[in-house]
Chains A and B, each alone.
Chain A
Amino acid sequence: MKSLGIGARVETLPKWTKIVFFVLLALFCYALPVLQLPLITTPDVDFGGVLFTVALYVLIALGLNIVVGYAGLLDLGYVGFYAVGAYSVAVLTTEHGSVPYLWTIPVAVGLAMLSGVLLGAPTLRVRGDYLAIVTLGFGEIIRLTAVNLDWLGGARGISNVPGPPDICKVTEGDVCRQPLFEIPHLDWSTGTPLVDLNHQTGFLDFGVLDLVPYYWFALTIVILVLIADRRIKDSRVGRAWEATREDEDAAELMGVPTFRFKLLAFAMGAFVGGLAGALFAGNSSFVSPLSFLLLYSILFVAAVVVGGQGNRWGAVVGGIVVAYLPERFRSFQDWRVMIFGVALMLLAVYRPQGLLPPRRRKRAAQAEREDQATHTPTTIEGAT
Chain B
Amino acid sequence: MTEKVLEVDAVTLQFGGLTALDDVSFDINEGEILALIGPNGAGKTTCFNVTTGVYRPTKGTVRFQGKSLTGMKRHQITRLGIARTFQNIRLFRAMTALENVMVGGDTRHGTGVLSALFGLPQHRREEQEGYDRAMELLRFMGLEKRADELASNLSYGDQRRLEIARAMATGPQLLCLDEPAAGFNPAEKQALMELIRKVRDRGYTVLLIEHDMRLVMGVADRIVVLEFGRKIAEGLPEQIRNDPAVIAAYLGTDEDAS
- For residue B102, which residues in chain A have a CB less than 8 angstroms away from its CB? 239
| A383 contacts chain B at the CB level, 8 A cutoff | no
**Alpha-carbon distance between A234 and B113 when the two chains are bound, in angstroms:** 11
Residue in A closest to B145 when the chains form the complex, CB atoms: A367
| B161 contacts chain A at the CB level, 8 A cutoff | no
> A358-384 toward B: CB 8 Å interface, digit per residue (1/0)?
101101100100000000000000000
Within 8 A of A (CB), among B128-180: 130, 147-150, 166-167, 170
| A166 contacts chain B at the CB level, 8 A cutoff | no
Residue in B closest to A247 when the chains form the complex, CB atoms: B90
**Alpha-carbon distance between A237 and B115 when the two chains are bound, in angstroms:** 10
A367 shortest CB reach to chain B, Å: 6
Contact A254 B104 (CB under 8 A): yes
Contact with B116, one of A237, A245, A249 (Cβ below 8 angstroms):
A237
**Alpha-carbon distance between A364 and B147 when the two chains are bound, in angstroms:** 9
Contact with B166, one of A231, A254, A268, A310 (Cβ below 8 angstroms):
A254
- The stretch that binds B, out of A201-209, A255-263, A293-301, is A255-263
| B95 contacts chain A at the CB level, 8 A cutoff | yes
Interface size (B, Cβ < 8 Å)?
42
| A210 contacts chain B at the CB level, 8 A cutoff | no
| B4 contacts chain A at the CB level, 8 A cutoff | no
> A221-250 toward B: CB 8 Å interface, digit per residue (1/0)?
000000010011011110110110111011
Contact A250 B109 (CB under 8 A): no
| A252 contacts chain B at the CB level, 8 A cutoff | yes
A117 shortest CB reach to chain B, Å: 14
- For residue B148, which residues in chain A have a CB less than 8 angstroms away from its CB? 360-361, 363-364, 367
- For residue B79, which residues in chain A have a CB less than 8 angstroms away from its CB? 255
Within 8 A of A (CB), among B82-138: 83-84, 86, 90-96, 99, 102-104, 106-107, 109, 111-113, 116-117, 119, 123, 126-127, 130
Q: A236-B126, A237-B116 are in contact. Are A364 and B86 (CB under 8 A)?
A: no
Q: How many A-B residue pairs have CB under 8 A?
A: 104
Contact with A242, one of B92, B104, B107, B113 (Cβ below 8 angstroms):
B92
- For residue A239, which residues in chain B have a CB less than 8 angstroms away from its CB? 95, 99, 102-103, 106
**Alpha-carbon distance between A280 and B130 when the two chains are bound, in angstroms:** 41
Contact with A264, one of B113, B126, B167 (Cβ below 8 angstroms):
B113
**Alpha-carbon distance between A184 and B170 when the two chains are bound, in angstroms:** 59
- For residue B92, which residues in chain A have a CB less than 8 angstroms away from its CB? 242-243, 246-247, 250-251
**Alpha-carbon distance between A254 and B127 when the two chains are bound, in angstroms:** 17
Residue in B closest to A235 when the chains form the complex, CB atoms: B116
Q: A247-B90, A360-B148 are in contact. Are A235 and B123 (CB under 8 A)?
A: yes
Residue in B closest to A365 when the chains form the complex, CB atoms: B148
Residue in A closest to B114 when the chains form the complex, CB atoms: A232
- For residue B96, which residues in chain A have a CB less than 8 angstroms away from its CB? 360-361, 364
Contact B78 A236 (CB under 8 A): no
Interface size bucket, A side? 20 to 34
- For residue A349, which residues in chain B have a CB less than 8 angstroms away from its CB? none
- For residue A252, which residues in chain B have a CB less than 8 angstroms away from its CB? 73-75, 78
**Alpha-carbon distance between A245 and B94 when the two chains are bound, in angstroms:** 9
Q: A235-B127, A247-B92 are in contact. Are A257 and B75 (CB under 8 A)?
A: yes
A270 shortest CB reach to chain B, Å: 13
Contact with B95, one of A235, A242, A257, A268 (Cβ below 8 angstroms):
A242
Contact A255 B104 (CB under 8 A): yes
Contact A253 B52 (CB under 8 A): yes
Contact A249 B99 (CB under 8 A): no
B16 shortest CB reach to chain A, Å: 21
**Alpha-carbon distance between A236 and B105 when the two chains are bound, in angstroms:** 9
| B236 contacts chain A at the CB level, 8 A cutoff | no
Contact A228 B103 (CB under 8 A): no
Contact B75 A231 (CB under 8 A): no
Contact A256 B116 (CB under 8 A): no
- For residue B83, which residues in chain A have a CB less than 8 angstroms away from its CB? 253-254
- For residue A360, which residues in chain B have a CB less than 8 angstroms away from its CB? 96, 148, 150
Contact with A255, one of B78, B99, B113 (Cβ below 8 angstroms):
B78
- For residue A242, which residues in chain B have a CB less than 8 angstroms away from its CB? 92, 94-95, 99
Residue in B closest to A357 when the chains form the complex, CB atoms: B94
**Alpha-carbon distance between A256 and B170 when the two chains are bound, in angstroms:** 10
Q: A235-B127, A236-B106 are in contact. Are A246 and B74 (CB under 8 A)?
A: no
- For residue B147, which residues in chain A have a CB less than 8 angstroms away from its CB? 363
| B54 contacts chain A at the CB level, 8 A cutoff | yes
Contact B78 A243 (CB under 8 A): no
Contact B94 A246 (CB under 8 A): yes
A221 shortest CB reach to chain B, Å: 15
> B25-36 toward A: CB 8 Å interface, digit per residue (1/0)?
000000000000
Contact A240 B94 (CB under 8 A): no
- For residue A250, which residues in chain B have a CB less than 8 angstroms away from its CB? 86, 90-92
Q: A253-B78, A253-B84, A367-B148 are in contact. Are A236 and B111 (CB under 8 A)?
A: yes
Residue in A closest to B146 when the chains form the complex, CB atoms: A367
- For residue B117, which residues in chain A have a CB less than 8 angstroms away from its CB? 228, 231-232
Contact B149 A364 (CB under 8 A): yes
- For residue A253, which residues in chain B have a CB less than 8 angstroms away from its CB? 52-54, 74-75, 78, 83-84
Residue in A closest to B93 when the chains form the complex, CB atoms: A246
* With A231-B119, A239-B99, A242-B94 already in contact, 6 other A-B pairs whose C-beta atoms are closer than 8 Å: A242-B95, A243-B95, A245-B94, A250-B90, A252-B78, A254-B166
| 17 intermolecular pairs with C-beta atoms under 8 Å apart | A232-B116, A232-B117, A235-B111, A237-B111, A242-B92, A246-B93, A246-B94, A249-B90, A250-B91, A250-B92, A252-B74, A252-B75, A255-B107, A257-B75, A268-B113, A358-B94, A364-B149
**A positions within 8 Å CB-CB of B:** 228, 231-232, 234-237, 239-240, 242-243, 245-247, 249-258, 264, 268, 310, 358, 360-361, 363-364, 367
5 nearest A-B residue pairs (beta carbon) = A255-B107, A235-B116, A255-B78, A246-B92, A364-B148
